[in-house]
Amino acid sequence: MSLLDRLLGRAGGPRRTVDVDGARRLLADGAVLVDVRSGDEWRAGHAPSATHIPMAQLGSRMRLLPTGTPIVTTCRMGARSAHAAAMLRSAGYTVSNLRGGMLAWQRAGQRIVAGNGKAGTIA
For residues 19 and 12, what is the distance between their CA atoms, to the nearest angstrom? Answer: 22
Domain ranges, residue 91:
3-107
Q: What is the pLDDT of residues 47-85, one digit of tens each?
A: 999 999 999 999 999 999 999 999 999 999 999 999 999
For residues 58 and 36, what is the distance between their CA atoms, to the nearest angstrom? Answer: 8
- Residue 59 confidence (pLDDT): 96
How much is the pTM?
0.87
Where does the pLDDT of residue 12 fall: very low under 50, low under 70, confident under 90, or very high at 90 and above?
Answer: very low
In a domain? residue 48? yes
Give the percent of the chain with pLDDT over 90.
85
State mean pLDDT over 103-108: 98
In a domain? residue 79? yes
Name the domain count of the chain: 1
Where does the pLDDT of residue 117 fall: very low under 50, low under 70, confident under 90, or very high at 90 and above?
Answer: confident
In a domain? residue 114? no
For residues 94 and 79, what is the distance between their CA atoms, to the nearest angstrom? Answer: 18
In a domain? residue 22? yes
In a domain? residue 119? no
In a domain? residue 20? yes
Confidence check: pLDDT of 4 > 70 = no
State mean pLDDT over 9-21: 69
In a domain? residue 112? no
Give CA 82 to chain center in angstroms: 8
CATH of the domain at 63: 3.40.250.10
Number of neighbouring beta carbons within 10 Å of residue 99 = 18
In a domain? residue 123? no
Where does the pLDDT of residue 88 fall: very low under 50, low under 70, confident under 90, or very high at 90 and above?
Answer: very high
